[in-house]
Amino acid sequence: MGSFGKHTVNGIVSLLVSVAITVWAAEEGEEYDLTDVALSVAVSAFLSGFFAE
């Protein structure tokens, strides 16, 4: 599978876990829309998992 595949899978797993926990624990607020928060967490988690050593 190579290094790129390993990093991609790690990024996807990080994304799924982080978004699931964020959506589960979040309360809809007036300042932020839950969709915006989940999207930012998804991008951050994927990149964090992808570039992890």
Assigned token pair, 53: 């050593």
pTM listed for this prediction: 0.76
**Does position 1 have pLDDT exceeding 80, yes or no?**
no
**Does position 26 have pLDDT exceeding 70, yes or no?**
yes
How many CB atoms are located within 10 Å of the residue 9 CB?
13
3-state secondary structure (DSSP) of residue 27: coil
Note the pLDDT of residue 16. Answer: 92
Neighbouring C-alpha atoms within 13 Å toward the C-beta of 35: 0
Proportion of the chain above pLDDT 70, given as a percent: 89
For residue 43, what are the CA distances in angstroms to 1, 2, 30, 37, 38?
23, 23, 22, 10, 9
